[in-house]
Amino acid sequence: MKKNPILRETSHVLIPVILLFALYVQFHGDYGPGGGFQAGVIFASGIILYVLLHGIKKTEKIISLQTTKLLAALGLLIYCAVGVAGMLLGGLFLEYNVLAADPVAGQHWGILFIELGVGITVASVILAVFYAFAKFEK
């Protein structure tokens, strides 16, 4: 696949757009269809496209299996941290109303961070699973 110039050049154009679209879906999830799950999947598929065209070795220099494992744990930790932050500020676990002075603003912050955690976890889990399959030797 490395020798096919059309695919390679198209991917150069497409991959940044896919990653940017993933971020749009991530942060526009409050207003339109979208959110952490979809954004994570789209982000991972952008990177998987890079792997398919440039090979796994080149991609691992940018983002390695170890990094994806750490990021997967980090996303889950962000989610839990939001819950615990609500507890520390005097609310219940995962109660966002106390995160800011105004309850609605607090809800906004809570949802933003939780979606961020979900997005990071989903993207890195899918990428790590793909790496695991791609690196497996018979």
Partner 1 sequence: MTALMIINMRNILSVIMLGGIYSLISAILFVVLDAVDVAFTEAAVGAGISTVLFLSAFAITGKHHDLKRRNHFPALLAVLVMGAGLMYSTLDMPAWGDAEAPVHQHVAPRYLEDSYAEVGVPNIVTSVLASYRGFDTLGEVTVVFTALIAVLLLLGAIREDEDQS
Partner 2 sequence: MISALINDLYAYWISVLLMMAGLYIVIDHSNLFKKLVGLNIFQTSVFIMFIAMGKVDGGTAPIIEKGYTVFSNPLPHVLILTAIVVSIATTSVGLALVVKINKHYQSVDEQEIEKIELQE
The residue ranges that bind partner 1 (CB under 8 A) are: 25, 29-35, 37-38, 41-42, 44-45, 48, 65-66, 69, 72-73, 75-76, 79-80, 83, 94, 96, 103-105, 107-108, 110-111, 114-115, 117-118, 121-122, 125-126, 128-136, 138
Q: For residues 78 and 63, what is the distance between their CA atoms, to the nearest angstrom?
A: 20
Closest distance to partner 1 from the beta carbon of 8 (Å): 19
Which one of residues 31, 61, 90, 101 is an interface residue with partner 2 (CB under 8 A)?
Answer: 31
Q: Which stretch binds partner 2 (CB under 8 A): 46-54, 60-68, 87-95, 123-131?
A: 123-131
**Taking the mean position of all CA atoms in its chain, how far away is CA 62?**
16
Instruction: Examine residue 25 and tell whether it contacts partner 2 (CB under 8 A).
Output: no
Cα–Cα distance between 59 and 50 in angstroms, integer?
A: 7
- Alpha-carbon separation of residue 129 from 77, 90, 106, 107 (angstroms): 20, 39, 35, 33
Q: Which residue has the tokens 């390679």?
A: 8
Q: Candidates 27-35, 49-57, 76-84, 91-99: pick the segment binding partner 2 (CB under 8 A).
A: 27-35
> For residues 82 and 114, is the Cβ–Cβ distance under 8 A?
yes
